[in-house]
Amino acid sequence: MGKKKEKGSKNLIRKWVITIGGFVVMQIVFILTDGTFLEANSKKLGDVAYNIVDSKFFYDWLILYVSPFFNIITLLAVLHIIFHGTKDLARISIPRRSSN
């Protein structure tokens, strides 16, 4: 039982190191390419995504980058981290029932 729990916590730590590391690398790439000719074309986002990016909420709260594409990708990444963080925290804090 102890080895299984230890392996599970190692996998959880590994998952979070990869997730946070990927997010940091993504943000560094966004910072380096924002406002240059290397940024993505926002006209190819599509109607739904462009309407989301063009909303008042985005302009008031989420102006991190000049490129709307970078803003929407950053928002999705943050939502992913929050969702999985909540799920993993609930999994750790709620004890499992034993099958005895």
Q: What percent of the chain has pLDDT over 70?
A: 74
For 11, the token pair is 């996998």
Task: Report whether 72 contacts 49 (CB < 8 A).
Answer: yes
Model confidence over 51-69: pLDDT tens digits? 777 777 777 777 778 777 7
Burial class (CB within 10 angstroms; exposed 0-12, middle 13-18, buried 19+) of 92: exposed
- Residue 92 banded pLDDT, cuts 50, 70, 90: confident
What are the boundaries of each domain within the chain?
A: 2-93
Q: For residue 4, what pLDDT is reported? A: 57
**How many CB atoms within 10 Å of residue 58?**
16
Q: For 55, how many CA atoms within 13 A lie in the half-sphere containing its CB?
A: 12
Averaged pLDDT, 23-42: 81
Model confidence over 12-32: pLDDT tens digits? 889 999 999 999 999 999 888
